[in-house]
Structure 1
Amino acid sequence: MVLPRAARTQRRTRIQEEKEEQILEAALDVFAMNGFRGSTIDQIAEVAGMSKPNLLYYFRTKEAMHRALIARVLDTWLDPLREFDAEGSPVSEIRSYIRRKLEMARDFPRESRLFANEMLQGAPNIEDELKGPLKALVDEKAEVIRAWAKAGKIARCDPYHLIFSIWATTQHYADFDVQVRAVLGPGHDGEGRFEDAARFLERLFVVGLEMEAPPA
């Protein structure tokens, strides 16, 4: 976990914690809008409503703010996959996973765009986390999917590409929300589009994983 500068020098007060959160919220707005390279400390300070020297007391560099946000986002992003239960019904678990991912696309669009920008830059801040904790978790859940297929509960599939496909289709609704609303047109800019997406994606993936009936 990346700690703010103030947290490394002394025990934080409630006011300091609030200031750090205020800064990170502003940084999230700026990074999600402009990307890391297009963002400046001056922009973040302006959005946070703070002077630049005051901001730099808490986070010395733009990189420090970005790393703190990315670490937080990655942890949040993995929560739905952690809840993937080997003892549950495959269909129920896959449907629940799709819905949880779509809820994140709906509720955390800035975080999704921040994460996507980090990937497009080659993941310079979280490459170790991708190759370590994220890979270990995906490996674990891939074994769950393989076990379901081996037990005849779902059709055989490549579990990694199944997970990648769910990531791609659900996060599309956050990263390309403007495009989604433009194409759907008036009357589809509310939460209904996420429910429509959930029903379609559930059917898409569940039907694709159904076992074929044995020949008569």
Structure 2
Amino acid sequence: MTEPPRPLKRTEIRAMNETLILQAAEKVFAEAGFGGATMQLIADMAGLPKANLHYYFATKEDLYRRVVQNIFEIWLHAADSMDNAPGPAEGIGAYIDAKMEISRRHPDGSKVWASEVMHGAPVIQDYLETTLRDWTKGRAALIQRWIDEGKMAPVNPDHLLYMLWATTQHYADFGHQIQTLNGGKPLSDRQWKAAKDSVKTMILRGIGVA
């Protein structure tokens, strides 16, 4: 005889509701922007009463910052593979793989970030001036070390990072354009692998890594 499922704990219910809200908010903010999004739209998308949103997030700005923080933290962790890599082939190659996979799995989060920055980062400027700036300095120093060790061509580390971001995030921010050019169909698993391999090959060859 099958035992009845145990009742969910309050912490489990909270975690499930937060996940529903954040997923819905990511999509609404990506489509409508911060100004066009409303807590009611997000509640409808999540399938929850509006009062539930205000229970977890007091204001729309609180919810927006959490969405932005989530994608930002995912991006930051994508570079963990660079830190202990023996060289740029392994480190930058793994970083490209991770960033491409994030664009595939979190396209709406990437669009929210891109829209925010293109509008002058009115809500998350503090992230850019602190966490992102420190992260960029650290990774630029790592790339410079590889250059000094003769493991890659002497390129500007900052501009290499900008190019990596622009190329990998293009697959999220301009996903509709790519899908249109792909006959109106999303990229298949095989096409995503080909895209990753192509981007890695072109960038690594461009910085003098076999």
| TM-score range normalised by the length of the shorter chain | 0.7 to 0.9
Amino acid in the other structure paired with 1:131: E
Amino acid in the other structure paired with 1:168: A
Counterpart of 2:4 in structure 1 is none
Amino acid in the other structure paired with 2:177: Q
Match of 1:105 among 103, 106, 110: 103
Is 1:128 aligned to 2:131, yes or no? no
For residues 71 and 185 of structure 1, the distance between their equivalents in structure 2, rounded to whole angstroms, comes to 34
Is 1:151 aligned to 2:163, yes or no? no
Alignment of 1:41-56 (within 5 A): 41-56=39-54
Asked if 2 retains the 8 angstrom alpha-carbon contact of 1:86 and 1:144, the reply is: no
Match of 2:90 among 89, 92, 99: 92
Q: Which runs of 5+ in 1 are unaligned?
A: 1-11, 212-216
Counterpart of 2:20 in structure 1 is 22
Sequence identity of aligned pairs in percent? Answer: 37
Instruction: Give the TM-score normalised by structure 2.
Output: 0.87
Is 1:39 aligned to 2:19, yes or no? no
Aligned CA RMSD, in angstroms, stands at: 2.0
Counterpart of 1:192 in structure 2 is 190
Instruction: Give the TM-score normalised by structure 1.
Output: 0.85
Amino acid in the other structure paired with 1:43: L
For residues 198 and 101 of structure 2, the distance between their equivalents in structure 1, rounded to whole angstroms, comes to 15
Asked if 2 retains the 8 angstrom alpha-carbon contact of 1:82 and 1:137, the reply is: no
The alpha-carbon deviation at position 37 of structure 1 amounts to 1.2
Asked if 1 retains the 8 angstrom alpha-carbon contact of 2:93 and 2:200, the reply is: yes
The alpha-carbon deviation at position 29 of structure 1 amounts to 1.8
Q: Please state whether the residue corresponding to 1:83 is helix, strand or coil.
A: helix
Q: Please state whether the residue corresponding to 1:145 is helix, strand or coil.
A: helix
Q: Please state whether the residue corresponding to 1:13 is helix, strand or coil.
A: helix
Counterpart of 1:203 in structure 2 is 201
The alpha-carbon deviation at position 63 of structure 1 amounts to 1.2
Counterpart of 2:6 in structure 1 is none
Q: Please state whether the residue corresponding to 1:122 is helix, strand or coil.
A: coil
Cα deviation, 1:52-81, whole Å, max 9, x if unaligned, reads 233322222211110111111111111112
Amino acid in the other structure paired with 1:47: M
Is 1:176 aligned to 2:174, yes or no? yes
Amino acid in the other structure paired with 1:145: I
Runs of 4+ in 1 over 6 A off after TM superposition: none
